[in-house]
Amino acid sequence: MKKYIVGVFFLFSIVAVSLGQVLSDSTCVENCEHPGYRLMSQEVDNELFTREYILHVPANYNADVNYPLVIAYHGFGDCAAFWVDAMENFYGFNDLADEEGFFVAYPQAAYRPDKEDVYWEPGNYAGENIYKNDVYFTEEMINHIAQDYSINLGEVYAAGYSNGGMIAYSVGCSRGDLVAGVGIMSGAMLDGAESCDDNFPVPVIIFHGVGDYTLPYYGNEWYGPVSETVDLWLNHNQIPANSLNTTELNGGDVVHDEYSGGLQGSCLSFYTIHEEYGEPGDHVWFSQEIEGVSPNKILWDFFNDGCDGEFTPVSESESPSTIKVFPNPFENQVHLSEPASESIHVKLINQNGQSVLSGKLKDLNDRNGFYDLPSGLYILIYGNETKLLMKE
């Protein structure tokens, strides 16, 4: 059973308010006992907000190598420590991370008084506040990890179960520049299409059971059917519906729908679980092998290989391998050698692993975004390429 300290939490919050601070972390006391426990904080208007997560570092980690990162969001009411235990000891996800060589971050949802439990708040509307905005918290958590570990910021992936799937969808929809893929197990999408940033198509893989009575496959009065979510992502990524290729697996117990040919080579992979272990596909993180391959491995291979290895963040005509960055060192502006390529979305990372600029290069130059940066070294990420730059 989950052990809460709700009364102590609220008492401490009341005392903290009198001091001009608010501590808005979770009520999961077991998290801090985990060896991978990490704590973040942010001060906003004299209020202190804290968030926490547990980090699995891949076996034989080498600081000279940049590793992928998978963010695994737990479901409603769960604790990160319990989620890690299940993913490690029951589902074997950390073993897979060790074998394949990637980090896993297990973030903790914050306590939400209106839900009377810990909950991921879908949407990206609450500004730059790590408690109020879980999408922003995700961005800051990525930066927090990158400060201490060698992370490939072009290979960050969001995976979520149930309510965790809701926030994974939100991250991919509204901040597709943060992640290179989204994976959902028994989740639902609460964001509308209007909240998605059309500049960033994101490959998506979905697993959902027909026997899911929590987030029903065919929808109910609170949640739309999974087919509506599939249609939303097809539209968002501009994937032709007639690209559909359907395959029956496990003797018809699983149906796999594949869509391809979207913007920047994006795709969508949808597994309908009719039966798992002899029962209708339930509200679970799926684990029965599909044609001899675990859902974990299917998820990771989708992330790792992209859309059959063809996914690239920029179009072929804008291939960054032929594009030069200048001047270097820079003072006021940064340019690409092919003028048409200045519409590429770029991100600038400082020496602490923090994202200091993000947007289309032309827009950043037009608003003098590079001008006020402190002198020093930066990493420019454009497409799937990176460039080390010096600010004079």
| All structural domains of the chain with their residue ranges | 30-38+51-305, 316-391
- Write down the pLDDT at residue 14: 32
Handedness of CA 45, 48, 49, 54 (dihedral sign): positive
- Write down the pLDDT at residue 353: 56
Kindly report, residue by residue over 129-143, the tens digit of the pLDDT.
Answer: 999 999 999 999 999
Nearest alpha carbon to residue 247 among 233, 257, 236, 260: 257
Average pLDDT rounded to a whole number, residues 296-307 = 93
Kindly report, residue by residue over 59-107, the tens digit of the pLDDT.
Answer: 999 999 999 999 999 999 999 999 999 999 999 999 999 999 999 999 9
Contact 9, 30 (CB under 8 A): no
- Give me the CATH topology for the region 30-38+51-305: Rossmann fold (3.40.50)
Residue 378 has pLDDT above 80, yes or no: no
Residue 144 one-letter amino acid: H
Average pLDDT rounded to a whole number, residues 367-384 = 79
Contact 121, 81 (CB under 8 A): no
- Write down the pLDDT at residue 354: 61
Average pLDDT rounded to a whole number, residues 13-28 = 46
pTM: predicted TM-score of the whole model, two decimal places: 0.74
Collect all residues with Cβ–Cβ distance below 8 Å to 135 and sequence separation of at least 6.
Answer: 123, 124, 167, 170, 171, 174, 175
Collect all residues with Cβ–Cβ distance below 8 Å to 218 and sequence separation of at least 6.
Answer: 210, 225, 226
- Write down the pLDDT at residue 13: 36
- Write down the pLDDT at residue 32: 93
Average pLDDT rounded to a whole number, residues 244-261 = 96
Residue 12's pLDDT band, with cuts at 50, 70 and 90, is very low
